[in-house]
Amino acid sequence: MEQLQLGPRQCWYGYLEKGCLIRAGQGVCRLRNLSAETDGMAYFACIRPDQPHLVFRSGWMMLEPDGAQRCQLTMRYPCAFWLRWSPLVWLRGRLQQFRLRWRLKQHRI
């Protein structure tokens, strides 16, 4: 079983398989499943240091400490940067635009 442990003020973005165990180093971590959002099912989890979280659905995930201002990634961008510019968020936006155009075409007489 794969395990992922976050350090203090550390963010993580990547693909997690079903059955992966996530532990928070210090404080509370938020887990956001970006793949589930593209399917229209938003999934968030709050992970505490004393309560590890088992991933039950594979997908692209974002892990961030609660209230962190900066990530400890290579480029040290704020966590929100990854949420705004992830490929899945971009794809979701394009799909929503396409559906809106399709609905408008359907209702024309």
pLDDT score for 7? 77
- Alpha carbon distance 12, 14 (integer Å): 7
pLDDT score for 46? 81
Q: Is 43 exposed, middle or buried (0-12, 13-18, 19+ CB in 10 A)?
A: middle
pLDDT score for 77? 39
Query: Could you give the number of structural domains in the chain?
Result: 1
H helices of the chain, in order, are 34-38, 79-85, 87-106
pLDDT score for 12? 82
pLDDT score for 105? 62
Q: In tens digits, what is the pLDDT along the chain, a chain of 109 residues? A: 678 888 777 788 888 888 888 888 777 788 888 887 766 666 777 888 888 888 888 888 888 876 444 334 433 434 444 455 566 666 777 777 777 666 656 666 4
Return the residue matching tokens 């961030």. Answer: 64
The residue segments making up the domain with residue 45 are 3-106
pLDDT score for 101? 64
